[in-house]
Structure 1
Amino acid sequence: MPDSKKSSGKTAVYIDGYNLYYGRLRGTEFKWLDLVQLFQSLLAQRDQSESLEKVIFFTAPALATFATHGESSVNAQAAYHRALEAVYGEQVEIVRGKHAYDRNGALLPAYIEGQPYDRNNRIRVWKLEEKKTDVNLAIRMYRDACKERYDRVVLVSNDSDAEPVLSALREDFPNLMIGIVSPVRPPVLGADIHRRTSQSLAKYAHWTVTHLTDDQLSAAQLPDKVKTNKKPILRPAHWVEVVG
């Protein structure tokens, strides 16, 4: 367990933005999420004298061609990032990767219900991939640990690709406390349709939050109008709707 070196509780939160969006925010009215407020609240509930020093948000710019609302989606994402930076300054850092796709389409095996996999039956599909996010997040967590910037770190992801960096952190920095927040919906009573916390990540954590509730997300929203030295940043109108 952490020794007296950990008494300050300086904490950084590392967010896989793609995982947060598709795991919990897509199709909800909670996209205008105040990341600092949300995680300050979660840390306060733990009552461990933890101080949220930094939120590092790993994401990639949306592509209008593939976005539900085209250019409006691109503008909405950009507005959100600017709003976070306007409200919190250097406390929030946005690390951008990129999206990539094959302009000729990817040739993949077709899925036909009731029939076995047939590698010779292929169709061309659009395949959009987010690049660099996993690597950027892992490198940043490890480098911050090497520089002893924080006493505690929180990973917001349910992607098992983060397992190697968590394993390395536990082995190389035994005094570093690790938390995991799974950006998934709460379990549905009488059904098994929710995503579960990745056990490959949880096994390296000192503590976990297994889901985020609507109440938690609703209580942590940025103002509809974020003031700046210039034109205010407005919450995108289509983000109020419950759509993708």
Structure 2
Amino acid sequence: MGRTAVLIDGFNLYHGMKEQRGRRYLWLDHVALASRLRRRDQIVDVRYFTAPVLDDAGASGRQQTYLAALKAHNPGVLTVVEGRYQRKRMRCHACSTHWTSYEEKETDVNIAVALMEIAALPTVDTVLVVSADSDLCPAVRSARRVNPQLTIVPAFPPHRRSGELRALLPSAFTISETKLRQSQLPPVVTDSATGAKYVRPAYWH
């Protein structure tokens, strides 16, 4: 049995799942998913990289409920690593309309740093990287130089592909809808330490 760490690009996965089935699979248990993707391995470290939602109280509340449920259901295994969103003022040159756009920052760097940390302290055999972001290729190359024995496997979210990652790591594969469906959190998650209950948002059905 190998020891596997999992690095999840939350932004990449979220939008892939939404394109596939809307909000149906957003109540996802990442530890359960990793266990299904690496059935013969011990999942020892799962890191979920995301950023707090800005300027939308409803979405922010759902996100915080979800993150609390994830941590309560997987104590000691799952860590949430937060980056940030940056507001960008946009303007249409044709009609002069203005609007605010949001750009996620720090996630790529945070995943790259985590990958290098794992490579430098070889306590695991495999890293499963749930992302199809080709910006991670330099970090993958560096990690393999630091620890040539480390196996790095990209798991592409639905509707997400990276020819560069696949060329670098031919073991890359796409996560199936079946695995997502089988890896949902319970409808109500109870924190065994505090007794707090977290309910799947009705908006996510």
* TM-score calculated relative to the size of structure 2: 0.90
* Of 142, 147, 150, the match for 1:176: 150
- Contact 1:178-1:204 within 8 A present in 2 as well: no
Task: Kindly provide the CA deviation profile for residues 186-238 of structure 1, in whole angstroms up to 9, marking residues without a partner as x.
Answer: xxxxxxxxx4x2121122326222x2232221111101111122331111110
What is the SS of the residue equivalent to 1:56?
Answer: strand
Task: Kindly provide the CA deviation profile for residues 17-71 of structure 1, in whole angstroms up to 9, marking residues without a partner as x.
Answer: 0000012245231100011111101111xxxx421111100000112x3xxxx32
- Contact 1:97-1:130 within 8 A present in 2 as well: yes
In the alignment, which residue of structure 2 is the partner of 1:235?
Answer: 200
**Structure with more of its chain in helix, by fraction:** 2
- Contact 1:178-1:206 within 8 A present in 2 as well: no
Quick one: which amino acid aligns to residue 173 of structure 1?
N
Quick one: which amino acid aligns to residue 55 of structure 1?
V
Measure, in 1, the Cα distance between the counterparts of 2:43 and 2:170: 17
Per the TM alignment, residue 108 of structure 1 is displaced from its structure 2 partner at its CA by 6.5
Measure, in 1, the Cα distance between the counterparts of 2:59 and 2:117: 33
- Identity percentage over the alignment? 33
What is the SS of the residue equivalent to 1:28?
Answer: coil
Quick one: which amino acid aligns to residue 182 of structure 1?
F
Q: 1:89 to 1:207 in 2, by over 3 A?
A: same
Q: How many residues align?
A: 201
What is the SS of the residue equivalent to 2:48?
Answer: strand
Give runs of aligned pairs for residues 1-244 of structure 1, distance below 5 A. Answer: 9-25=2-18, 27-44=22-39, 49-63=40-54, 65=55, 70-102=56-88, 105-107=89-91, 124-185=98-159, 195=160, 197-205=161-169, 207-209=171-173, 211-228=174-191, 229-240=194-205
In the alignment, which residue of structure 2 is the partner of 1:113?
Answer: none
Kindly report the root-mean-square deviation, in angstroms, between the aligned alpha carbons of the 2 structures. Answer: 1.9
Question: Structure 1 regions of 5+ residues with no counterpart?
Answer: 1-7, 111-120, 186-194
- Contact 2:119-2:144 within 8 A present in 1 as well: no
What is the SS of the residue equivalent to 2:38?
Answer: helix
Per the TM alignment, residue 109 of structure 1 is displaced from its structure 2 partner at its CA by 5.7
Measure, in 2, the Cα distance between the counterparts of 1:109 and 1:178: 44
Measure, in 1, the Cα distance between the counterparts of 2:202 and 2:153: 34
Measure, in 2, the Cα distance between the counterparts of 1:181 and 1:60: 21
Measure, in 1, the Cα distance between the counterparts of 2:131 and 2:163: 12
Quick one: which amino acid aligns to residue 215 of structure 1?
T
Measure, in 2, the Cα distance between the counterparts of 1:219 and 1:43: 14
Q: Which structure has the larger Rg over C-alpha atoms? A: 1
Measure, in 1, the Cα distance between the counterparts of 2:141 and 2:198: 40
**Structure with more of its chain in strand, by fraction:** 2
* TM-score calculated relative to the size of structure 1: 0.76
Question: Structure 2 regions of 5+ residues with no counterpart?
Answer: none
Measure, in 2, the Cα distance between the counterparts of 1:56 and 1:206: 23
Task: Kindly provide the CA deviation profile for residues 111-160 of structure 1, in whole angstroms up to 9, marking residues without a partner as x.
Answer: xxxxxxxxxx9764422111111111101110121111321101111111
